[in-house]
């Protein structure tokens, strides 16, 4: 175990691997400076792009967008989408990429490998996300996400999640019932074996 260090905020001894003190939540390790934003696909420097009240980062070559977490959540909120968008046709889910075509991208701001996620689990739009800094969207993906939301996609995703949770609870209840029944059966046969065994021996 590494030698403990003293938290500069509350003075308690903590593990040197902690970024935040578990006692006072103060930052222990100074955050690494953020990189200048470059496209994770083309390598070109991103340029400011104004959308509504937000200044996003755009790749002028491939059309990809970098959004910090606040920007992404604002532009993909139901309130924002319903206010701005008029759905003219039903959303069509794009095909998921083949395994051999998958490329994991580095975060625009810290250089760490990002996580790939299917937005809302059922949209078919695969986003690249850094848990600390933001989301990378390839060209056209923001519009696809907003189309998905405008066509009621988040409601369908929520309904599916509710149904999945309900089924898991039902399966759990059945498992508990089966376990209880098995225990009762075992105890019954133990008692029967004791009763008849005792009588036979007597």
Which is more confident, 157 or 123?
123
Checking if the pLDDT of 202 tops 60, the result is: no
Which is more confident, 171 or 89?
89
The answer to whether the CB of 123 falls within 8 A of the CB of 145 is yes
In angstroms, rounded to a whole number, what is the distance separating the alpha carbons of residues 200 and 143? Answer: 81
Per-residue pLDDT, 189: 61
Per-residue pLDDT, 68: 92
Per-residue pLDDT, 127: 96
Checking if the pLDDT of 116 tops 90, the result is: yes
Phi-psi domain of 8 (left: phi exceeds 0; alpha: psi -120 through 50; beta: other): alpha
In angstroms, rounded to a whole number, what is the distance separating the alpha carbons of residues 131 and 128? Answer: 10
Q: Averaged over 92-115, what is the pLDDT? A: 90
* CA distance to 1, 13, 14, 100, 158, per residue, from 5 (Å): 12, 5, 6, 45, 45
Q: If pLDDT is split at 50, 70 and 90, which confidence band does 30 have?
A: low
Give the Cβ contact number of residue 63 at 10 Å.
15
Strand segments, DSSP code E, in the chain are 5-6, 13-14, 47-51, 54-58, 65-68, 115-118, 126-130, 134-137
Per-residue pLDDT, 73: 93
Per-residue pLDDT, 123: 93
Mean pLDDT for the chain overall:
84
Which pTM does this prediction carry? 0.66
How many CA atoms lie less than 13 Å away from 59 in the CB half-sphere? 20
Per-residue pLDDT, 63: 97
């Amino acid at each position: 175990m590494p030698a403990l260090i003293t938290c500069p905020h509350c003075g308690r001894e903590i593990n040197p691997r902690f970024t935040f003190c578990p006692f006072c939540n103060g930052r222990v390790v100074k955050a690494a400076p953020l990189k200048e934003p470059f496209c994770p696909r083309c390598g070109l420097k991103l340029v400011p792009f104004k959308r509504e009240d937000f200044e996003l980062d755009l790749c002028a070559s491939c059309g990809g967008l970098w959004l910090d977490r606040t920007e992404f959540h604002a532009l993909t909120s139901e309130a924002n989408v319903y206010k701005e968008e008029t759905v003219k046709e039903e959303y069509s889910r794009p095909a998921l990429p083949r395994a051999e075509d998958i490329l994991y991208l580095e975060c625009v701001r810290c250089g760490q490998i990002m996580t790939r996620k299917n937005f809302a689990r059922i949209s078919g739009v695969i986003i690249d996300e850094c848990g600390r800094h933001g989301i990378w969207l390839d060209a056209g993906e923001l519009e696809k996400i907003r189309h998905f939301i405008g066509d009621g996609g988040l409601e369908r995703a929520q309904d599916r999640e509710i149904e999945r949770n309900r089924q898991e609870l039902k399966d759990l209840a059945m498992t508990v019932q089966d376990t209880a029944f098995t225990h009762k059966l075992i105890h019954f046969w133990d008692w029967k074996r004791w009763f008849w065994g005792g009588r036979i021996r007597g």
